[in-house]
Amino acid sequence: MRRDRLRAQTVTAMPPRQPRSVTEIAADPDRPPPPGSADSVGDGLPPPDFEAQTHAQEIVQASGTTFLAAMKILPEDRRTAMYAIYAFCREVDDIADAATPAAEKIGRLKNWRREVDRVYRGDPQIMTLRALVRPVRQFNLEKDDFLAIIDGMEMDALEDIRGPSLAMLDTYCDRVASAVGRLSVRAFGAEEERARRVAHHLGRALQLTNILRDLDEDARRGRLYLPAELIDAQGLDSRDPYTVLGHAALPAICTEVARMARQHYRMALQHMRRCRRGPMRPARMMMMGYSALLAAMERRGWRHYAEPVSLSRPRKLWIAVRYGLI
């Protein structure tokens, strides 16, 4: 017998109940919460903000990020959290890259810093940050990591970075990439200390790969992220982006940055292997995709830094299946 028929027969056999007063209904401890209340989805978390979630997802999809495939393999609630994290990063990055005076950019980033505080109070005004209210509670996302990302964007906003020291470059990578990783591994479901070590190394590896990929784009903005010590070692005293990029020593400098990235990839993999496999699948997909991109740039050669490099669709599919599903 079907369960709904059995239930109907049981209900029919019960004696009629007297209607309750409004006061009795309101006092009933078993009464379900009204739609939109903090417990309306039954998990004690703030209710989903569907408008803000859709906004964040649209930002991710419009960006064309290579991370989208890794996000898609996540369960819905974790995927929604990652969309919100990525949208946050994208919007503050756009502020730092805007062709506006530094003071204006710093002012806007300070507003986002205040809004991050409001996320943890549950009442942000910016649409993207509204999408974070539920995930920060659900996955224990740390405020310091969001603020670190803004710190990194302020480094770009204050002045064009040109030939930073290795120490400054490491700080920059931690803020704009490893902090994102620390948020991400929590959204993936990996909260063990090893996962933080994965975020530490993988964030730096991905950012160094980005720096090598975006040499020409950054130079057009007046930026040069190749470290000062490596430039100086080649006898170059200029920090002008195109002077460095046009120098015969560029391949040697880039080869060393690529070596640094490879070392971080190796360390990330070493820690990843000691984490639970399931939550690490998105991180592994990102790592293998970017590692393959770095290899493609190495094959192309550093003298041709302005020639775009990308992975073929079959290669991307193979990475998705091999590291995301198996």
- For the cut 60, the answer to whether the pLDDT of residue 308 exceeds it is yes
- Please tell me the predicted confidence (pLDDT) of residue 326: 52
- Please tell me the predicted confidence (pLDDT) of residue 321: 79
Q: What's the rounded mean pLDDT across residues 262-276?
A: 97
- For the cut 50, the answer to whether the pLDDT of residue 11 exceeds it is no
Of 14-18, 152-156, 225-229, least confident by mean pLDDT is 14-18
Asked whether 150 and 116 are in contact (CB, 8 A), the reply is yes
- For the cut 50, the answer to whether the pLDDT of residue 23 exceeds it is no
pLDDT digit string, tens, across residues 73-114: 899 999 999 999 999 999 999 999 999 999 999 999 999 999
Q: What span, in angstroms and rounded, lies between the C-alpha atoms of 63 and 42?
A: 33
- CATH architecture group of domain 47-159: Orthogonal Bundle (1.10)
Q: Does domain 164-326 have CATH number 3.90.950.10?
A: no
Q: What span, in angstroms and rounded, lies between the C-alpha atoms of 17 and 320?
A: 57
Domains 47-159 and 164-326 in one fold: yes
Asked whether 115 and 124 are in contact (CB, 8 A), the reply is yes
Domain boundaries, the chain: 47-159, 164-326
Cβ within 8 Å of residue 314, ≥6 positions away: none
Asked whether 152 and 179 are in contact (CB, 8 A), the reply is yes
Q: What one-letter code names the amino acid at 176?
A: V
The per-residue DSSP string of 218-239 comes to HHHTT-B-S-HHHHHHTT----
Q: Which band of pLDDT confidence, cut at 50, 70 and 90, is reported for residue 318?
A: confident
pLDDT digit string, tens, across residues 138-180: 999 999 999 999 999 999 999 999 999 999 999 999 999 999 9
- Please tell me the predicted confidence (pLDDT) of residue 105: 97
